[in-house]
Amino acid sequence: MKYNEIKEHDFVLDYDSGFSGEYFDISEPATGKIFGTVRGASIEETKKIISSCKHAQPDWAATTFEYRAAILRRFAQALGHHCEMIHAWNARECGSIRPKSEWELQACIEQAYTAANLAQAPNGELYPSTMPGRKNMRVKVPVGLVGVIAPWNFPLLLSLRAILPALALGNTVVLKPDPQSFFTGGVIISELMAEAGLPENVLRLIPGGAEPGQTIVEHPDTGMIAFTGSTAVGRAIAQQCAGTFKKTSLELGGNNAFIVMADADIESASSCAAWGSFLHQGQICMQSGRHIVHESIADKYVEALAARANQLVTGNPFTEQCHLGPLINAQQAEKVRTLIEESVAMGAEIVTGGTIDTQLVSPTVLKNVSSDMPVFQQEIFGPVAPVVTFKTEQEAIALANDTTLGLSASIHTADSARGEYLATFINAGMVHINDQTVNNEYHIPFGGLKDSGDSGRIGGPVNLDEFTHTKWISVMNQGVQYPF
């Protein structure tokens, strides 16, 4: 590794990015400690990297599928070998508790093996022809150079879910992680790929913030942008790429409905709700953000959910056992505070939680919430569970759809068939019956509707289409004589 190993409870950061752009700090959200400062890439340096990766792509695509698959398998093994280092960085840089980091790492390992198998998937189809002797082929070809712009909340997973299939299918990649997770979502990936034998310029790491990210989006040599992040930034990327018809894969925000019907098992529903709302401090796009509960059981549900919230401990996930770590930065903690305070001023009531100590936010349950309150209307990205009640199924569906976002949802009911029927009316890309909203299985297509993305899907077999273009190739054994 180009940076020092972790010793006991201290990081000594020694990393030279080799770039000359703006500086950014590598910090620890739980303590505010600055580990070191890294220089981002300038616009010109970013352009040079893009050109180098574009130049390397034809040779990479020409390698055998066995060669590409072997590298991805070695990368999976390297992830497992360096697990302790990865968990430590995920805790200190991103505020991840150990179980969350362990799940994230295992999902990445499994995705690496899945992508290795993807390399040998069929890459075309034959079609009949109305012309005697003509062979019609629809073939999949690499997009070329894929720009991956990844977030800080699940930085390893949300970088690799695009990088791995892109590489398997013959693309090269430039990766720009969020500066707040530069090591977990960037350096570790880059260096372990090199350790696995990935050739030079097939994957390049570009550090920095908005400036190099915008260069990646605008550059004519990037054939596709895979972005995970906010709807506002995703919309800007979509508008920019539309000007040149550049391919996009956009997974954006969510304000996800958690519907609890009158016949639901309250203990099960409250367990799913606590997991969906409080996992990783609620900093997940699939967070159970709006609890829509039948009025006949609302009091019991709120009591059960609050009891679970009261059992959860906040703290520094690197130095102590806790259920919730810190929010990623002070601005996000202040945003959560404002959403709570403004909603309380409008009539919401704090059942439990609501305390904020620097970037540690206690798991919070709110009742007497109405659909016009900020905690209902906005994506919270913090450990807050607002509860609103309904009387009829139609009202529940209307409340669930009362958002511009459409990523994930769940419905709890003793009648699973009824839940499955109601799911067809929820305007979300993923709906889970008697489960929580934060579901992600690497082999199942993942994505949202409305302002939660571009309606594309990523994961499993759909990666064959997501990271390729298709073309029609027809062949005649000899030339055809036409009327003129």
CB-side exposure of 161: number of CA atoms within 13 Å? 32
Q: The tokens 């920019």 sit on which residue?
A: 240
Catalytic residue among 28, 45, 218, 251: 251
Q: What is the largest CA-CA distance in the chain?
A: 83
Contact criterion met (CB below 8 Å) for 383 and 277: yes
Concerning whether 285 is annotated as a catalytic residue, the answer is yes
Cβ neighbours, 10 Å, residue 458:
22
Listed in sequence order, the DSSP H helices in 2-97 are 43-61, 65-81, 83-94
Contact criterion met (CB below 8 Å) for 439 and 223: no
DSSP type of residue 6:
P
**What is the distance between the alpha carbons of residues 379 and 332, in angstroms, rounded to a whole number?**
12
User: What SS3 state is found at 254?
Assistant: coil
Concerning whether 322 is annotated as a catalytic residue, the answer is no
DSSP type of residue 453:
B
Catalytic residue among 285, 322, 379, 466: 285
Residue of 243, 198, 197 whose CA lies nearest to 219: 243
Contact criterion met (CB below 8 Å) for 457 and 468: no
**Can you spell out the DSSP letters for 51-73?**
HHHHHHHHHHHTS-HHHHHHHHH
Contact criterion met (CB below 8 Å) for 395 and 294: no
E strand or H helix at 36: strand 34-39
Whole-angstrom CA distances from 31 to 88, 91, 277, 360, 435 are: 15, 12, 24, 10, 34
Whole-angstrom CA distances from 370 to 32, 51, 72, 355, 402 are: 36, 52, 49, 22, 12
> Can you read off the two tokens belonging to residue 354?
């609501």
Residue of 407, 409, 376 whose CA lies nearest to 258: 409
First and final C-alpha spacing in the chain: 67
Residue of 338, 342, 336 whose CA lies nearest to 359: 336
Residue 299 Ramachandran class (φ > 0 left, ψ -120 to 50 alpha, else beta): alpha
Cβ neighbours, 10 Å, residue 342:
14
**What is the distance between the alpha carbons of residues 356 and 227, in angstroms, rounded to a whole number?**
31
> Between β-strands 34-39 and 172-177, what pairing exists: parallel, antiparallel or unpaired?
unpaired
Give catalytic residues, as residue numbers: 251, 285
